[in-house]
Structure 1
Amino acid sequence: MTLEQGEKLPNRDHKYVEVQTEDKETGNCEPKRNYTQEYISATISTLGTIICGIQFAWLGPILPQLLSGNFKIQITLEQSVWVIGVLHIGALPGSILASKLTNYFGRKNTIFLTTIPFILSSLINIFAETVVHYYIAQFIGGLGFGASFVVVSTYISEISSPEIRGILSTLIQLAKSVGILIVFVLGAYLPIVTYCSVLAIFPIIQLICTFYLPETPYFHVIKKDYNKAEKALKFLRNKSMVQDELKCLIEGFKEEIPESHQSFWDVFRDKTNLKSIIILTVLLMGQTWTGFSAFFGYSQVIFEDSHSSISAETCGIFVALMNFGVVFLSGPLIDRYGRRKLLMASGIITFLPLAMLGGYFYLQDYTNFEHIEKLRLIPLIAMVFYKFSYGMGLSGIPYIMAGELFPTSVKSYAISIITINRGAIGVVGNKIYQVVLSEFDYPGVFVMFIILLILLLIFVYFAVPETKGLTLEEIQVKLRKSNKT
């Protein structure tokens, strides 16, 4: 998309108002909206995100066993960094491939295809004999990991009504949290091979359920199949009169960019798209580098090093439960208070648990504090508190905004770029954690998290736009107007 084309977008804002007014005048707008099909479709689409949560946290609950040598495969802490990091490396080609597949074969078919690498990865984990097999499994799983975030974010943003887009988008984070919870519960009680075998069931469930999904109206509009677009809208909105919404979609797409000029590089040719990429990349850096990756990849090890009065396995389950439960709170809050306010509130509150953990490890490892035994619950309390404060906004909002800040014509390409960046951020973040931990121990790690969190809050205050309650078309109008001022 060129800047000259982008300058036409304010006219689209006027057209959008005309369409809505016309809809009300003709009486086609029904007073009570039925969102059932949108909820069902969004939920099914996020089954792959459950598996992403499983892939992401898979190593956490079994890492102490692998480090101790009590299993047939023994790994070192350095190797564990790469077992986690290879997942993000695999996400890089996976996201690029998904951006192509979504535009050629559709959002639904691409969701279906993501089940293949997940199934292969699960099978390799079951029969693994060396750490190299884990590397291979994680890389293949990373292909599905990267592809899923691209296509699911795109899918949900394109099927959602503006009134519930924020809530539906939180399903991505909810599904990931479900996957993480499953991992920590099963990993606490099952032998490693049985644990991996049970986890292999979930990609098969996704494969079966995906047949129910409708294709998105936006994809049919891109392909100029307006009859199918109308049918998809009728199914999703559960009403017969959708002509005005279809007209808005068609006009909006035509003004975004001519179809013949769509390409991966259109994301970089437009200043507004570039700005959105920078915003989301910084949000993901802040999300990953302020404790998230460390707390799930190494949570069991952290609890063991803290000499918690509760077993590391039980602590991991408590943390995963809070990670799951807070999503139900964040959904309504996001649509009520908006993205920016919740990001700021989430970041400010997260200071406290990080300071608690840093202070606790300082007292334990660097002083002779005589009452330390009375404080053994602090690591669990702080970690659960962290998941609450982090889950309110920092955890899910970047994924919501990834589906909101880009025009339809380049959305899948843009999200693939964001996923590539996220993969690189994850690899670098895991390595930084290991280096800082070895050089400065746990107090140094938590000081680093706090400094990065301060920088993130400054960025959110000055650079992140508010998208609450706006249609995807209105968001583009707002972003381009802000670029001109």
Structure 2
Amino acid sequence: MLLRKGDIFDFEHRGEVFRKIRQIFPVICGYLIPISFGMMLGWPSLAYPLLLHESNNPPVLINIDQSSLIAGFLMHGNSVGVLFSTSKYLGSKTMVFLCCCLQFIGWFVMFGANDIVGLFISRVSIGFGNGCGTGHLKRYIKETCEPELAEKLAHYIPVGINIGIVLIYTVGAFVDFKTMAIFGMMFPMLAIFTFGAIPKRSLSAKRSSVVKTMFKNTATLELDKIEDKLDQNKANESDEHQINVFQCLRDKRTRNGLLLIFLIVLMQQYTGGPANIVYNQIIFKIANNPHAKICSIIYANAIFFLIFTTISLKFVRNFPRKANLLVGSGLCVIIIGLLSLYYLLKEYRNFPRKANLLVGSGLCVIIIGLLSLYYLLKEYLLELSHLFVWSPLFIMILFNAFHTFSMATVPLYIILEKIPKRSRNVVSKFLVIHFSQSAVISTKIFQVLYAYVNMSVAYAFFVCVALAGFFLLLIFMNEYNVEEEKKLSAQKCEVTNTIEVITRL
């Protein structure tokens, strides 16, 4: 029987698809780590209304001051875990498997918790599993997947956290405390059984490494030159030559990038992102909304949270960084200002990258200001119309859009664009630790202000931070040359395609 040319092509195409599936499926199983972390991140919004009221007969009774402390242990675990995310004492597959086991233990402890210590242990275990496991998952992806596919798979790991938040907001609204923990246990358990049974290294990755060695003196050399230009640092740029913290601080380019990341993450976390997740239902209840659970589901599961993150990861690289941040922070001010207006009426009776960041942060300033004003005038607005109880929901959705598109996503690109390769290991860990600890502190500040003053003042604090950050970015952030990066990236893509053609010969 003779084979036609089309039959051979179809066979090769199916073989290529099968190889891709073999590489992608283990990574999808590994994505269950950030999904489990995202579920625990959104857990307080569903659990706190149950645990704060003795009338609900909760398994663990807590007070409002303990709420931010409990929330913080997840981020403490994440901060400690990231310090072990690049250790190579064990293989990447083994470390990912152990982190899945640790997250399962965390949810199991949550199921049996009868005091606050159990909640601490549960959240710190799941946080550590994510901080450590995500780093080793990236290493596993790099070891087992083809370079172009590996870059894409590693890029979308943060989406797993948002999937977890959507899941817990959706399911947790209709189940009790114990059932919520059982639901959380299912995901790390699934990861243990599926990821644990998968071979460590795919054949396609081995073949890719052999091909890379064969052609390292031809097309690969040209690719390395282009990558050196993209990194703007032609000396000591290999991944193997990672420098330590003190060397990073002595390097001017790394030091400037660190300061910029510190400022952007500070704005990101102190403008309401973590507090809106942790106290989501409480925020809607204070607005006198009788359907707080439904509002939480809409906030997370209107797929805004998930879609905004996915869109941001895909398209933010095309916008100037400074303009992005300025517009985003400005819109955040407007939207949170709407919420501020609500609280103002409530208390009335009783008393390019730079462009990207600047636009985003500027809008966030306005949005947060409106949110603060809304809560201040809440009671007066409710007298005008009862429909105003839905205002915080729509304001927060707007805030989420601009906040995610600017301040929440741009720091990931700042590392790739402004930090040398040799410093990225240290800077990535700094980003995670700063992100986690800022979330802890900002959530505590929000809890104290809304519990002991009022919700309007809590959001007014976020407005002040966003406004200060907006002007700092406007003054100190240099624009990144996106057009040059696009040209170099196109050259890199062309050379990569050439290597792939040679590989198939």
Sequence identity of aligned pairs in percent? 19
Q: 2:175 aligns with which of 190, 193, 210?
A: 190
Query: SS at 2:289's partner residue?
Result: coil
The letter for the 1-side match of 2:107 is: S
Partner in structure 2 of residue 301 of structure 1: 282
Residue 184 to residue 262, structure 1, CA distance change in 2 (3 Å): same
Partner in structure 1 of residue 82 of structure 2: 95
The letter for the 2-side match of 1:360 is: Y
Query: SS at 2:272's partner residue?
Result: helix
Matches within 5 A, 1:129-144: 129-144=114-129
Partner in structure 1 of residue 192 of structure 2: 207
**1: CA distance, partners of 2:440 / 2:329:** 23
**2: CA distance, partners of 1:68 / 1:92:** 31
Equivalent residues, number = 425
Structure 1 residue 373 corresponds to structure 2 residue 386: yes
CA shift, 1:268, in A, is: 3.0
Q: 2:342 aligns with which of 360, 366, 377?
A: 360
CA shift, 1:65, in A, is: 0.6
Partner in structure 2 of residue 224 of structure 1: none
**1: CA distance, partners of 2:458 / 2:76:** 24
The letter for the 1-side match of 2:444 is: K
The letter for the 2-side match of 1:315 is: C
Query: SS at 2:236's partner residue?
Result: helix
Structure 1 residue 435 corresponds to structure 2 residue 448: yes
The letter for the 2-side match of 1:348 is: G
CA contact (8 A) 1:177 1:324 kept: yes
CA contact (8 A) 1:230 1:243 kept: no
CA contact (8 A) 2:242 2:422 kept: no
Residue 258 to residue 337, structure 1, CA distance change in 2 (3 Å): closer
Partner in structure 1 of residue 430 of structure 2: 417
Partner in structure 2 of residue 479 of structure 1: none
**1:272-312 Cα distance to aligned partner (Å, 9 max, x none):** 22222222222221111101111000011111111115x11
Residue 176 to residue 302, structure 1, CA distance change in 2 (3 Å): same
Query: SS at 1:60's partner residue?
Result: helix
**1:136-192 Cα distance to aligned partner (Å, 9 max, x none):** 111222212322454556777997978996x75662332111010011111101111
Residue 129 to residue 163, structure 1, CA distance change in 2 (3 Å): closer
Partner in structure 2 of residue 276 of structure 1: 257
The letter for the 1-side match of 2:300 is: A
Provide the TM-score with structure 2 as the length reference.
Answer: 0.72
**2: CA distance, partners of 1:242 / 1:190:** 57
**2: CA distance, partners of 1:161 / 1:340:** 30
Structure 1 residue 290 corresponds to structure 2 residue 304: no
The letter for the 1-side match of 2:68 is: V
CA shift, 1:362, in A, is: 1.5
**2: CA distance, partners of 1:40 / 1:246:** 28
CA shift, 1:269, in A, is: 3.5
CA contact (8 A) 2:79 2:433 kept: yes
**1:59-106 Cα distance to aligned partner (Å, 9 max, x none):** 21121011012112111111111110111222232111223x1x5546
Query: SS at 2:288's partner residue?
Result: coil
Partner in structure 2 of residue 396 of structure 1: 409
Residue 466 to residue 163, structure 1, CA distance change in 2 (3 Å): farther
**1: CA distance, partners of 2:484 / 2:195:** 29
CA contact (8 A) 2:81 2:132 kept: yes
**1: CA distance, partners of 2:134 / 2:239:** 26
Larger Rg computed on CA atoms: 2
**2: CA distance, partners of 1:402 / 1:197:** 37
**1: CA distance, partners of 2:312 / 2:224:** 29
Higher relative contact order (CA 8 A, sep 6+): 1
The letter for the 2-side match of 1:411 is: R
Residue 409 to residue 107, structure 1, CA distance change in 2 (3 Å): farther
Provide the TM-score with structure 1 as the length reference.
Answer: 0.75
Which stretch of the first structure deviates more once superposed, 370-379 or 196-205? Answer: 370-379
**2: CA distance, partners of 1:39 / 1:352:** 41
Structure 1 residue 67 corresponds to structure 2 residue 47: no
Q: 1:316 aligns with which of 296, 306, 325?
A: 296
Matches within 5 A, 1:109-124: 109-124=94-109
CA contact (8 A) 2:141 2:150 kept: no
CA shift, 1:349, in A, is: 2.1
The letter for the 1-side match of 2:39 is: I
CA contact (8 A) 2:103 2:188 kept: yes
Structure 1 residue 327 corresponds to structure 2 residue 309: yes
Which stretch of the first structure deviates more once superposed, 398-407 or 311-320? Answer: 398-407
Partner in structure 1 of residue 496 of structure 2: none
CA shift, 1:466, in A, is: 3.3
**1: CA distance, partners of 2:254 / 2:98:** 28
Query: SS at 1:255's partner residue?
Result: coil
Structure 1 residue 82 corresponds to structure 2 residue 63: no
Residue 75 to residue 325, structure 1, CA distance change in 2 (3 Å): same
Which stretch of the first structure deviates more once superposed, 389-398 or 57-66? Answer: 389-398
**2: CA distance, partners of 1:404 / 1:463:** 13
The letter for the 1-side match of 2:185 is: A
**1: CA distance, partners of 2:24 / 2:469:** 32
CA contact (8 A) 1:107 1:215 kept: no
Query: SS at 1:97's partner residue?
Result: coil
Gaps of 5+ in 1: 1-32, 217-226, 476-485
CA shift, 1:57, in A, is: 1.4
The letter for the 2-side match of 1:392 is: F
CA shift, 1:260, in A, is: 7.6
CA contact (8 A) 1:169 1:400 kept: no
**2: CA distance, partners of 1:404 / 1:40:** 30
CA contact (8 A) 2:238 2:421 kept: no
Residue 204 to residue 280, structure 1, CA distance change in 2 (3 Å): farther
Which stretch of the first structure deviates more once superposed, 130-139 or 33-42? Answer: 33-42
**2: CA distance, partners of 1:241 / 1:338:** 36
CA contact (8 A) 2:313 2:409 kept: no
Residue 430 to residue 371, structure 1, CA distance change in 2 (3 Å): same
Residue 414 to residue 346, structure 1, CA distance change in 2 (3 Å): same
Q: 1:267 aligns with which of 218, 226, 248?
A: 248
Query: SS at 1:200's partner residue?
Result: helix
**2: CA distance, partners of 1:289 / 1:162:** 35
**1: CA distance, partners of 2:235 / 2:401:** 43
CA contact (8 A) 2:85 2:135 kept: yes
Query: SS at 1:98's partner residue?
Result: coil
CA contact (8 A) 1:121 1:137 kept: yes
**1: CA distance, partners of 2:127 / 2:331:** 32
**1: CA distance, partners of 2:112 / 2:69:** 19
